[in-house]
């Protein structure tokens, strides 16, 4: 058995609305081994994104504990979680989240520059090559198609060599063919880099490529394979 990189223990998330308390996640427990690829599936509104946010340390649960690597992120404050995120975590989003005023190359190198890596540009160029955009490094997001933008986002996520990569519906905004290419690329890069992949998706085919599928509905884990 490989070591556990991500563990959630009896995690619940409640939010207060105007008239009553809403339970978005209810007593979720998970154990994810390092290097695994995991899909979180479920109907819209089930709480997938909420769970992803909690696991990535972007938000805190109302109840329960979460460990990222050896750090218990629920026991630390936002600054502590930020430090852990900086060390371990990468993201890919449904809406790509590229910065419009930056070129493809700058978008990819930005997180590395922020963490003070000196070879940021070099690595960024390398990863843009890996995603097949070597010719487009100086282009701005608005000059790229959706698929191309998501490829830049993938390059950006993997260039930092995160231990664990969170992806929220990475193909959700793309047509089927493009989505297919993006998921190919995602798994290819994942294999090369030995990263743990946590993926939220609606798409059965994408989920099936993962080693593990967690299904949630109405805030509860209903199956785990």
Partner 1 sequence: MRLIDIKLLWRDWRGGQLNLVISALVLAVMVVTAVSLFADRVERGLNQQISSFLASDLAVRGGIEISEEYRSKALELGLNTADTASFRSMVFAGQNNHLASVKAVSRAYPLRGEIELSDDLSVGNPMLKSNGPASGEAWIEARVFNLLDIEIGDKIEVGYLSLTVSNLIVNEPDRGSGFGAAGGRVMISLEDLPASQLVRPGSRIGYRLLMSGDNQAIRAYQDWYQQREQALKKSSEIKHFRLVTPENAEEQLADTMQRGRAFLLLSGTIGVLLAGLAMALASQRYASRLTDQVALMKAWGQSSGAIRRSQFTRLFLIAATSTLIGMLLGWLSHYLLLEVAKGLLNVELPGPSSRPWIVAMITGFVCVLGFALPALWHLPTIAPLRVLRRDLPDSLLGQGKRLAIGITALLILTYWYSESLVTSLLFLGALFALFGICALIALQFLKLVQGFGSWRGSFTRLGLANLWRRRGQTLVQLVGFSTTLMLLLIVTGMRTNLIAEWQAQLPDDTPSHFVYNVADNEVQSVKQLLKKAEVGTTDWYPMVRGRLVAINGEAISRERMAQSDGLSREVNFTQTTELPVENNVIDGSWWQAPPTGLEFSMEERVAAEIGVGVGDVIEFSIGGLKFDARLASTRSVNWQSMTPNFYVVFYPGALDKYAPNWVTAVRAAKTVAAERGALVKQAPFVSSMVREFPTAVVIELGDIIGRIRDVINRVTQGLELILLLVLLCGALVLFAAIGVSYDERLRENAILRTLGSSKKIIVGALTVEYATLGAIAGVIAGAGAEVVLYFVQKNVFDLVPQWHPSLWLLGIVSGTLLITVLGLLRSKDIISVPPLQSLRQLG
Ligand X SMILES: Nc1ncnc2c1ncn2[C@@H]1O[C@H](COP(=O)(O)OP(=O)(O)OP(=O)(O)O)[C@@H](O)[C@H]1O
Residue entry with tokens 């000059």: 143
Measured distance CA(218)–CA(216) in Å, rounded: 7
Smallest distance, Å, CB 172 to ligand X? 8
Q: Do the strands 89-93 and 164-168 form a parallel or antiparallel pair, or are they unpaired?
A: parallel
Question: How many residues sit close enough to ligand X to count as binding (CB under 6 A)?
Answer: 11
Decide if residue 222 touches ligand X (CB under 6 A): no
**Beta carbons of 168 and 176 less than 8 angstroms apart:** no
Residue entry with tokens 């649960």: 61
127 binds, among partner 1, ligand X, Mg ion, none (CB under 5 to 8 A by kind): none
Decide if residue 135 touches ligand X (CB under 6 A): no
- Looking at beta carbons only, is 133 or 213 nearer to ligand X? 213
Decide if residue 55 touches partner 1 (CB under 8 A): no
Decide if residue 148 touches partner 1 (CB under 8 A): no
**Beta carbons of 214 and 39 less than 8 angstroms apart:** yes
Q: Where are the alpha helices (DSSP H) in 9-143?
A: 48-55, 78-88, 104-114, 120-130
Contact positions with ligand X (CB under 6 A) in 164-193 = none
46 binds, among partner 1, Mg ion, ligand X, none (CB under 5 to 8 A by kind): ligand X
Decide if residue 103 touches ligand X (CB under 6 A): no
Which chain residues interact with Mg ion by CB under 5 A?
Answer: 49
């Amino acid at each position: 058995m490989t070591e556990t990189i991500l563990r959630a223990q009896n995690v619940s998330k409640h939010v207060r609305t105007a008239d009553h308390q809403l339970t978005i996640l209810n007593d979720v427990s998970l154990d994810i081994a390092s290097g695994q690829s995991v899909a979180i599936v479920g109907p819209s509104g089930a709480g997938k994104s909420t769970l992803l946010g909690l696991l990535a340390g972007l938000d805190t649960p109302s109840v329960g504990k979460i460990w990222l690597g050896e750090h218990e992120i629920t026991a630390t404050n936002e600054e502590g979680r930020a430090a852990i995120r900086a060390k371990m975590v990468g993201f890919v989003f449904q809406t790509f989240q590229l910065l419009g005023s930056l070129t493809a190359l700058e978008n990819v190198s930005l997180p590395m520059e922020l963490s003070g890596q000196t070879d940021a540009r070099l690595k960024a160029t390398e990863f843009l090559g890996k995603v097949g955009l070597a010719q487009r490094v100086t282009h701005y997001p608005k000059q790229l198609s959706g698929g191309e933008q998501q490829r830049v986002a993938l390059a950006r996520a993997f260039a930092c060599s995160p231990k664990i990569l969170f992806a929220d519906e990475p193909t959700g905004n793309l047509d089927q063919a493009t989505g297919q290419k993006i998921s190919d690329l995602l798994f290819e890069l994942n294999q090369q880099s030995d990263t743990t992949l946590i993926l939220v998706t609606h798409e059965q085919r994408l989920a099936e490529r993962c080693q593990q599928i967690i299904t949630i509905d109405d805030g509860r884990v209903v199956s785990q394979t």
